[in-house]
Each structure stands twice: as structure tokens, then as C-alpha cells.
Amino acid sequence: MAFNRDVSVALFHSIIRPRKCLDAMAATGARGIRICNEAPGNYRFIINDKDSLACDHIQHNIELNTLENAEVSNADLRCLLAEEIFDYIDLDPFGTPIPFVPSALQGMARKGILAVTATDTASLSGTHPGKCRRRYMANSQRNPFLHESGLRIMIGTIVRMAAQEDKGVTPLLCYYADHYFRLFLRTKDGAGAADGSLEQLGMMSYDRATGERKVGEGKMGPMWLGPLMDREAISNTVVPEGLECPERVRQHFEIWKEELDVPFFYETNEIAAMLKLSPPGREELMEAMRSIGSVSRTNFSPTGFRTDRPLEEVLEAFRSACR
């Protein structure tokens, strides 16, 4: 999870400016301690775990790093969030975070950031559709872009839960890496903000026979169909020195800064299989796609690409790249 924490540190360096933070399920406190140690700012970090042994480790790590803006808390996060208000809350449970989201929303300031990690990617990505319906109140489906559809279902569920509290939710940065989804969501109180977020939800369809994706109709969802990041904020992010995975973080931010704001991407191998052709070289493919419209890499797959052109044009450009 070093990369996960590196991204958190980078965002605290450049974008996130809280006053009172909560690492709600901290274990040894690695995330909160790294942020306090590596990201300057006038904020206080409560590092919480309901396990008393974990809190002993957190206290030891705070003292080891001589941190003055971090303090340990030994509480059930539901009780803590019923008593205190935070403008940054981080949820990183084992598996689904959904049981803890209502408490986090209720403990959030009028404007804040909710950071969420979810490791139950299989249910969100179509491997266990029944579990997805039960946990996330949405339909999932196996497809070539399954991690993006799963991430969008996850965001959509939190948007609907927030709307019940008259809160709007918009992504600051949401991504998939390794075995987890990671969401940084801006929250804002108000019925208008909640309605605006709900308007970004919808359904989609994927036809396995033709590869056709249709946004706004179908049985997959409800899911978030809006941007997965705040483009301006991410473009202004500077990757700091001293990270655990500096090159990987830089590469991901480079892709995020250029990635098209288009729902769903194509896989090179998917198109090659449909056309019964050998995949072209990466540069040849991207050049062919540029000749018909906008194209970009995607964070979700090293062999994937986004384009604003319809499937029939993508197929023809792919054929030309293979000649």
C-alpha cells in the first residue's frame, strides 16, 4: 500500500488543505503518520483504531517520529464520528467500506474530503454480481473495462448515500491500482449539491458480441458517469520528493493529467480479438487514433486507450494501424 499512501502525501502537499483530519481505521497509523511527517500544513490528525494493541503501536510511531500534530484515539469510529466533526476523513477497512460511509458522512464538515479505499473489487467488477446488488445496490457485469465500471459503481453508491444526508459528492481523484479502488471525494452540504451529484448518475450497457458501449441506457449501474477527477486540481499537483514509489507516482500523475474525460476505455487486445488481427505497436495505434479524434492513455490499463470517437471509427483506425 506504499503507492496508495504516496498519492495521499502528494495530494496533501498540493491540494488538500484541511484543519482537522481523521484516519478512522488506522492499524499501525502508517498513513496518518506519513502525511504528518511528509506534508506540511496547519492541521491536526486524529489517528484512530478501536483495537487497543493497534493504538499502542500508533502511539509508539507518533513518538518515534516526534509528531506534534498527531494524536492517537482508541474508539469505535461510529461513536467518534457521532461526537466530532472533521473536514478530512479516511476510511481504509478490509473489504467493503460501505457499512462505515454513513457515519463518515455524518461526521463530515459542511465542506470536506472523504477518502475511501475498497478492496472488494471482485463484487464491483462483475465476478460476484449478487454481492454487488446487495452491498452497492447496483448491477455489475464482467467486461474489458471492469475496473472502471466497478469504480464508477462505487462512486455512484456513495453519491446516493450522501444525497440521503443532503450532501453533494464530486471526485477530486478516483483510481484503481493493484487490488483496490481509491477515492478522494469532495463533499458539500446542501440539497442543490446533492441533486447536482445525482444528475451525474446513470446506467450503461456493454454488448459482448459487438464490443459496443452505450452510456445512459442499459442494465449496468446505477453508476457515476461524470469525471473521475478534478482536472484543474490534478494538473497543478506537484509530486514531492522522498516518496516510497516516486517513479510510479510520477507516471500515474502524468497519465491522470492527460487522460480524456470520456466514460470507459478500449483494450488493445479486445479490439484485436474482435477484428482477428495482431495488435499493432503502441505508438502506431495512438497515431492512428489521433488521426480520427482525441485519444489518451488510461490509468486503468497499460494497454488501454480512451477516445471520443464511436466504435465503428475506432475499428477502422485500428485496422489502418495494423496494415
pLDDT in tens, 50-80: 999 999 999 999 999 999 999 999 999 999 9
> Could you identify the residue written with the cell 471482485?
122
Separation of alpha carbons 149 and 155, rounded Å: 10
Q: Quick check: 1 pLDDT over 90? A: no
Q: Please write the tens of the pLDDT for every residue from 120-173.
A: 999 999 999 999 999 999 999 999 999 999 999 999 999 999 999 999 999 999
Q: Which CATH architecture has domain 266-322?
A: 2-Layer Sandwich (3.30)
State the pLDDT at residue 50.
95
Same fold, 2-258 and 266-322: no
Whether pLDDT at 7 is above 90: yes
pLDDT at 323 over 90: no
The pLDDT of residue 265 is above 90:
yes
Q: Domain extents for the chain?
A: 2-258, 266-322
pLDDT reading at 183 higher than 90: yes
Q: Write out pLDDT tens, residues 74-129.
A: 999 999 999 999 999 999 998 899 999 999 999 999 999 999 999 999 999 999 99
Residue percentage of the chain with pLDDT more than 90: 98
Question: Which CATH entry fits the domain spanning 2-258: 3.40.50.300, 3.40.50.150, 3.40.50.970, 3.80.30.20?
Answer: 3.40.50.150
pLDDT of 40 over the 90 cut: no
pTM for the whole structure: 0.96
Among 80, 40, 37, smallest CA distance to 61 is for 37
Mean residue pLDDT of the chain comes to 96
Please write the tens of the pLDDT for every residue from 209-258: 999 999 999 999 999 999 999 999 999 999 999 999 999 999 999 999 99
Residue 161, beta-bridge partner list? none
3-class SS letters over the chain: CHHHHHHHHHHHHHCCCCCEEEECCCCCCHHHHHHHHHCCCCCEEEEECCCHHHHHHHHHHHHHCCCCCEEEECCCHHHHHHHCCEEEEEECCCCCCHHHHHHHHHCEEEEEEEEEEECCHHHHCCCCHHHHHHHHCCECCCCCCHHHHHHHHHHHHHHHHHHCCCEEEEEEEEEEECCEEEEEEEEEECHHHHHHHHCCEEEEEECCCCCCEEECCCCEEEEECCCCECHHHHHCCCCCCCCCCHHHHHHHHHHHHHCCCCCCCEEHHHHHHHHCCCCCCHHHHHHHHHCCCCEEEECCEEEEEEECCCHHHHHHHHHHHHC
For residue 196, the model assigns a pLDDT of: 98
